[in-house]
Structure 1
């Protein structure tokens, strides 16, 4: 039983990966259209110090946005800001510390940002980790679940009023959640979200990415019902050559290197989907979508389960100490 509970998530996840690679073998990466200038708009990009997060932050800054890079590596953050300023000249970027595995840190970050009196037009929930060994955060949450999903759930809710105030009809505020094709392999166990009964890093990662899609759809439904000028979409960058894959098994790591050179997307190519969702004119007023390679795509059947969406929302509110709605 234990072996099956570990092998099944692993096989499901790698099958998803093979399907994505097969697609990327025969299809070019999405090319961004010409994007409108974003002067006067402000964005937060979590995990923006490297990889797709950095490329997203850099591109948004080049469009005229004031970009706040939120991350937990101060030196990397300073270097990322320097690179953006050197490459863009007019681009405005800054680094602010946040540890998404700490609910206290997320609350401090959100309150500090709100106290500055800045507007917030774009929130890109990009930070994430993949296939790390079993570990718990300081608040007792499984690491993937907290970093990839729960920290972003709290951050989004704490900043939601500001996003609502900053958006207006015809110029909505936008929330972008970084999911993954691995969500198709995901299963939500409402009785064991922390995966304590039988841990699988593959299952934990897939669950966290599915949770983001469920969160996306439920939040958009609430925003639409309230008539707020805020949209939220989930994006899937495909398989991208980033540090996320550093935790693969040794054999898989060895096989990945030659494959990545020819079939994986570059970080800039992967980031194009986030940038598109955050700034494209075609996405104005469009929410509740799962975007893959620039196209609105059907996500997993489970992600459309409205009852599961409600259950996860209420449980997440309980876990982070938010009033349930």
Structure 2
């Protein structure tokens, strides 16, 4: 039997998330999408883009390849990956592009991907943690984690930590390596349940999604603090693409889907427009040496007040290391 408390636990996140969405749409109705500045060539640099087979991830991978980067598209759909690589190659991109399998809902797959990458002896200059999912029904991964939490956050936390030594070796003063984490405005509605990160007490897909995006911002700030303390030439930024017309919205209720379609045509950003902020964070001269920031529409923006809680950042880092089986630095 559900209680009034349970109902509030479900409706509260839902209402907060949709209020965030309304605010973003109002902003987008009266403000043009961010236009990328001229970007420097990226020849000789290597990037990994998760979820790069379609949507904003594909647009990010495509643009970085056209700047001359060697781009590794990491995803769990080999056919989509092959098609994405084929499309970018046909455009005569200056850089190299390839697809490598990665399932972020499996910690074993994350570790295998990193082993394969390291065996090649490549440097790593840019890691774009773009892959994500939204509003899926309650699901657990093979490791027993809530689906949003693992795919959007924990898999990327493990991936980044396992690749940190490569990023650190590849960066240098005046030419830092960069980590770009794809968050969203929904993080403002997020709450971190440190004693129930898998949200088993009372599940809400809206609450789970918002929590995963807040976790990414907390992770970004804690990562930058650790990198700066170690004197490493690596920066970490969180980016917010706004509301973008991608497959992320496929899990909306039927009524919401019907309402979304006409609104999306007028007010949503295109995948290319949404990707501009991650491309900016990954390659722009203006972002050289700049980390620990939240970028929205090309501007440094205040993230949620909770995201600046240094104690919560450290707690989430420690808990994430335990969940992933990582030794604390």
In the superposition, the TM-score normalised over structure 1's length comes to 1.00
Find out whether 1:21 has 2:30 as its counterpart: no
Q: Which residue of 1 aligns with 2:193?
A: 189
Quote how far apart the aligned CAs of 1:91 are: 3.1
Q: Which residue of 2 aligns with 1:282?
A: 286
Map residues 131-142 of structure 1 onto 2, 5 A cutoff.
131-142=135-146
| SS of the residue 1:140 aligns to | coil
Map residues 60-75 of structure 1 onto 2, 5 A cutoff.
60-75=64-79
Which residue of the other structure, out of 246, 268, 273, is the alignment partner of 2:250?
246
Q: Given that residues 126 and 178 in structure 1 are in contact (C-alpha distance below 8 angstroms), is that contact kept between their aligned partners in structure 2?
A: yes
Q: Given that residues 68 and 93 in structure 2 are in contact (C-alpha distance below 8 angstroms), is that contact kept between their aligned partners in structure 1?
A: no
Q: Given that residues 61 and 88 in structure 1 are in contact (C-alpha distance below 8 angstroms), is that contact kept between their aligned partners in structure 2?
A: no
Q: Which residue of 1 aligns with 2:237?
A: 233
After superposing on structure 2, the runs of 4+ consecutive aligned residues of structure 1 that deviate more than 6 Å are none
Q: Given that residues 46 and 53 in structure 1 are in contact (C-alpha distance below 8 angstroms), is that contact kept between their aligned partners in structure 2?
A: yes
Quote how far apart the aligned CAs of 1:89 are: 3.9
Find out whether 1:145 has 2:146 as its counterpart: no
| SS of the residue 1:88 aligns to | coil
Map residues 66-215 of structure 1 onto 2, 5 A cutoff.
66-215=70-219
Q: Given that residues 33 and 269 in structure 2 are in contact (C-alpha distance below 8 angstroms), is that contact kept between their aligned partners in structure 1?
A: yes
Which whole-Å CA distance do the structure 2 matches of 1:74 and 1:236 have between them?
A: 27
Deviations 1:89-119 (A, max 9, x none): 4331000001000000000001110110000
Q: Which residue of 2 aligns with 1:31?
A: 35
Structure 2 segments unaligned to the other structure (5+ residues): none
How many residue pairs match? The answer is 325
Q: Given that residues 67 and 94 in structure 2 are in contact (C-alpha distance below 8 angstroms), is that contact kept between their aligned partners in structure 1?
A: no
Quote how far apart the aligned CAs of 1:2 are: 1.3
Q: Given that residues 84 and 91 in structure 1 are in contact (C-alpha distance below 8 angstroms), is that contact kept between their aligned partners in structure 2?
A: no
Q: Which residue of 2 aligns with 1:261?
A: 265
Which whole-Å CA distance do the structure 1 matches of 2:183 and 2:6 have between them?
A: 27
Which whole-Å CA distance do the structure 2 matches of 1:317 and 1:119 have between them?
A: 24
Structure 1 segments unaligned to the other structure (5+ residues): none
Q: Given that residues 17 and 181 in structure 1 are in contact (C-alpha distance below 8 angstroms), is that contact kept between their aligned partners in structure 2?
A: yes
Q: Given that residues 178 and 234 in structure 2 are in contact (C-alpha distance below 8 angstroms), is that contact kept between their aligned partners in structure 1?
A: yes
In the superposition, the TM-score normalised over structure 2's length comes to 0.98
Quote how far apart the aligned CAs of 1:277 are: 0.1
